[in-house]
Structure 1
Amino acid sequence: MEAALKLEPAGQQQMEEQPSKKKHPPGLYLLFFTELWERFSYYGMRALLTLYLTTALVSGGLGFKESTAVSIYGFYTGFCYFTPLIGGYLTDRFIGRRVAITIGGIIMALGNFALFAEHSKWGLYLGLLLLIIGNGFFKPNISTLVGELYEEHDKRRDAAFTIFYMGINVGAFFAPLVCGYLAEDYFKTTVNGIVQYGFKYGFLAACIGMIIGQLLFNLLGDRYLGDIGKVSAGTSAKKKMSGSTAKTPLTKKEKQRTAVIVILTCFVIFFWAGFEQAGSSLTIYTEKFVNRHAFGWDVPTSWFQSLNPLFIILLAPMISALWVKLSNSKKGDLKIPTKMGLGMILLGLGYMVLLLAVMRTGSDEQHIIMKANMLFIVFTYFFHTVGELFLSPVGLSMVSKLAPVRYASLLMGVWLLSTFVANILGGQLASFTQSLGYFEIFSLIGFMAMGLGVILLLISNKLTKMME
């Protein structure tokens, strides 16, 4: 029964026509560049959001309190990972994934344009709402398309998701540099002694990036993707299954695999709660407590958010090659839960480095002992990045492999739901840095991440048996 229910990926026929199994299909690189420009849009806007919210109105910002600003940031980034659950459900049943990606891209471009065109709280909420809705259509479907390019047991799958993940981070690397430079430097002016920032031009650059990505995807989609993603997964499944089989409930093994996805989703919530401090508490800490002066120039605060994608660009090829080498060795690759547990421990180690900086600076901006060296932030992001590479692309690959085909986009949305909860939790944790202090909050996040990572290592064998 289980074998009868297994559906071959939509891209199998294309894969069989490939002359070499060693090369990745060209569709991977189209999705790579589509995601690159979408992430340019997202991370360009995200790098500026907290600064935009906390900067005074007369200086081009909106003048929110820091605790309010990081809460808004947390809810915005959180709901960007909640709506994929709805978008995944719709594409599993009613619309093709490629149509959903296009709808999402257009709506997100409009969201960034609203932030550019309307400098007010009304413009802020409209822009964020459009970005949240558009992300719901885009996010779960492009990741699922990557999985459909490969057969179920293709050993290149983990490597492909790591390459795809590198595309995400090429966009994420350039976004803070370009958008941050426009907002904090190029369009920065001084009028009557008041510094004014050009945040809206950073949002405009994010809008243009989204448009470029959609043009590439729609102009080259038929050539490099064929028929993959043109119809909904539900429609495709019905065509390949008889009427009675299409309504057959999930097998025991499919239920176990679905349970593993849910269990690991719960674990990684705390990883993302700590990781996403980058755009909230870490941004504010860097702005106020870190010596950013180098070579006669103050490094824009938003630029530090390019460290994570820069490290991913440098390290992703090595990690990808490591997974391939291990999978071809006699001992075999590391278990997926093991990789993810190590990723959580590495996140915690990054916070241990950050605690050393806080012990030098203190947590009170009115009585800073001394400003921290930029290297503390650099090494914090380094450990966070290695942890992310052990956890996130592996998780995307896992969902694409384990999810029953009828619920592939829905379960990808469930996986992304962990980031929804995590960002809201992370926003609340960041708001407490103003009352409890940075040392206490960073300690809590760091030790909890390492503790949960150890637990995940201990139950790795059990989860792996459920996955097989």
Structure 2
Amino acid sequence: MEAALKLQQSTEESVQQPKKKHPPGLYLLFFTEMWERFSYYGMRAILTLYLTTALISGGLGFDKGLAAAIYGFYTGACYFTPLVGGYLTDRFIGKRLAITIGGLTMAVGNFILFAEQSKWGLYLGLALLILGNGFFKPNISTLVGDLYDKNDKRRDSAFTIFYMGINLGALFAPLVCGFLAEDFFKTTANGVIHYGFKYGFLAASIGMMIGQIAFNALSNRYLGNIGKKPVGKLPAKREEKQSNGPLTKQEKRRTASILILAVFVVFFWAGFEQAGTSLTFYTQNFIDRQVFGWEIPISWFQSVNPLFIVLLAPLISMLWVKLANSKTGDLAIPTKMGLGMILLGLGYMVLVLAVLQTGSDEHHVAYKAHLLFIVVTYLFHTLGELFLSPVGLSMVSRIAPVKLASLLMGVWLASTGIANILGGQIAAFTESLGYLEVFGLIGFMAILFGFILLFLSRKLVHMME
């Protein structure tokens, strides 16, 4: 979802831009990215369920602590491999070839998860998914920018359209893959329920292949020669603009402010990414998912966040524009990010109320909470996401010193990878400590860090100037 959040930033920047016709290559990249995100979020939505379901029921029978750690490592690694993939692409292979290599590798990874229900099949499949992501992720977005001149006013609008494709893929993936895994292929024999998780992985593989077939069949027609050759070294003009001297005092302050905020971002995403682990486990056992006699698949709740993003991102963008044009002016970036952390914490406080009703004993569930508890939690988390992530990306690209711009953006994105790994470790404690303690601690710490960030906001703004 991390890339989808740029939707708000792009909408905010382009809200007053005149509408012009976009090149057809944009819609080809939109389609390709939509199916790649369908593959990623579809597989991710059912991963922990597959890991923790008993062997006899179609899973691997891992304990929840190990499953959470595997999930955290997988999602975290997906933020680090693009650094390597981007480096190799710039110097040795073209972006379009990298996208094809990455897409096919991920398709094979998901297919292995479908074909081989074993530990070695799991680890090989995940390894290929992580490797393929490293080639695909850093190149598909840059190809969008390559369609336009640097000062083309359609550029921001193009990224808005492109990232809507990410939202659509993330929205429908859990619905399709989750339905196949938990409902359509569910069978009962001798009182034992068997789930069709492998068919969810197959759907993710097929989705990836659909995007790749379209991309390779139509790229010559709609992209021309864009992305065929490696970029190589930076153009001389840009190199001339980069200072070879030491950082100025102002640049040092700006760099320090980015690093300070990155620490807060790590904790935010560690809490936010519980969606695929502890929140999924809680939803599975303690949320009443019955609606008119039909039980909602657990993985479908992974579609709530992208749905709220589609609905709320334009409204949040309008809010920032309205504040910017008001007498009081827009909120400072650290202030927005602090409010985002508080909103994340409030979402967990909603869950604490649910846990107080249901308890934490998965073996003796006497009462299940209403599904609105988890929906409202995701609503608060999405609002926090929109307050924090897009403005953070915008901040780094705007204030980072020229000679450290790429490095600091890499650090900013890598902080999300660290957060995913940390989030997996936090989720592993739900079995030993209980949901009340884990959710309460995350919520309290998020709110505390949010107020600390609000307290530091004026100082950080001064450092950024």
TM-score interval for Structure 1 and Structure 2 normalised by the shorter chain: 0.7 to 0.9
Q: Shift of residue 277 of structure 1?
A: 0.7
Which of 347, 351, 368 is equivalent to 1:371? 368
**Paired position in structure 1 for 2:392:** 395
Paired AA for residue 194 in structure 2: Q
Which residue is equivalent to 2:51?
Answer: 53
* Match in the other structure for 1:4: none
Task: Please state how far the C-alpha of 1:151 moved relative to its aligned partner.
Answer: 8.5
SS of 1:136 mapped into structure 2: helix
Deviation at 1:323, TM superposition (A): 3.1
What's 2:261 paired with?
A: 264
Indicate the residue corresponding to 1:82 in structure 2. 80
Once structures 1 and 2 are overlaid, which stretch shifts more, 223-232 or 206-215? Answer: 223-232
Q: What's 1:322 paired with?
A: 319
Worse-superposed segment, 170-179 or 420-429: 420-429
Residue 438 of structure 2 corresponds to which residue in structure 1? 441
For the residues of structure 2 that align with 1:419 and 1:269, how far apart are their CA atoms? 6
Cα drift, residue 426 of structure 1: 1.1
Identical aligned residues as a percent: 72
Sort the Cα spacing of 1:345 and 1:91 in 2 relative to 1 into closer, same or farther, 3 A: farther
Q: Is the 8 A contact 2:243 2:403 kept in 1?
A: no
Q: Structure 2 matches for 1:60-209, cutoff 5 A?
A: 60-91=58-89, 93-143=91-141, 164-209=162-207
Residue 231 to residue 409, structure 1, CA distance change in 2 (3 Å):
farther
Determine if contact 1:337/1:457 at 8 Å carries over to the other structure. Answer: yes
Tell me the distance in 2 between the aligned counterparts of 1:54 and 1:441: 19
Is contact 1:92–1:408 with CA below 8 Å preserved after alignment? no
1:413 to 410, 414, 419: 410
Task: Provide the rounded CA distance (Å) in 2 between the counterparts of 1:255 and 1:161.
Answer: 31
Residue type of the alignment partner of 2:18: K
How many aligned residue pairs are there? 448
Deviations 1:55-77 (A, max 9, x none): 11121111111221111111111
In the alignment, which of 228, 237, 243 is matched to residue 240 of structure 1?
Answer: 237
- 1:328-372 C-alpha deviation (Å, 9 max, x unpaired): 555543333222222111111100100000000011122334111
For residue 44 of structure 1, what is the aligned residue in structure 2?
42
Instruction: After TM superposition, give the deviation of residue 272 of structure 1 in Å.
Output: 0.8
Superposition RMSD on alpha carbons, in Å? 3.2
Match of 1:23 among 9, 19, 24: 19
In structure 1, how many angstroms separate the alpha carbons of the residues matched to 2:263 and 2:358? Answer: 34
CA contact (8 A) 2:242 2:403 kept: no
Distance 1:288 1:217 in 2: 41
Contact (CA 8 Å) 1:85, 1:414: kept in 2 or not? no
Structure 1: give runs of 5+ residues left out of the alignment.
1-17
Measure, in 2, the Cα distance between the counterparts of 1:330 and 1:149: 38
Residues 343, 31 of structure 1: alpha-carbon distance in 2 compared, 3 angstrom cutoff: farther
Cα deviation, residue 264, structure 1: 2.5
Displacement of 1:259 in angstroms is: 4.2
Q: Do the aligned partners of 1:140 and 1:413 also contact (CA within 8 Å) in 2?
A: no
1:339 aligns with 2:324: no
CA distance in 1, matches of 2:404, 2:225: 19
1:43-102 residue CA offsets vs partner (Å, 9 max, x unmatched): 100111011011111211111112211111111112112222323444455555444333
Distance 2:221 2:320 in 1: 30
Letter in 1 for 2:82: P
> Residue 241 of structure 1: CA displacement?
4.7
CA displacement at 1:404 relative to structure 2: 6.0
Aligned match of 1:422? 419
Deviation at 1:465, TM superposition (A): 4.2
Report SS of the residue matched to 1:190: strand
TM-score with structure 2 setting the length: 0.85
**Equivalent pair of 1:269/1:422 in contact (CA under 8 Å):** yes
Aligned match of 1:362: 359
287-296 vs 315-324, which moves further = 315-324
Aligned-partner residue type, residue 331 of structure 2: L
Q: 1:153 to 1:411 in 2, by over 3 A?
A: farther
* Contact 2:42-2:176 at 8 Å conserved across structures: yes
> Displacement, 1:165?
4.4
Aligned residue identity for 1:68: L
Query: Greater CA deviation, 155-164 or 123-132?
Result: 155-164
| TM-score where L is the length of structure 1 | 0.85
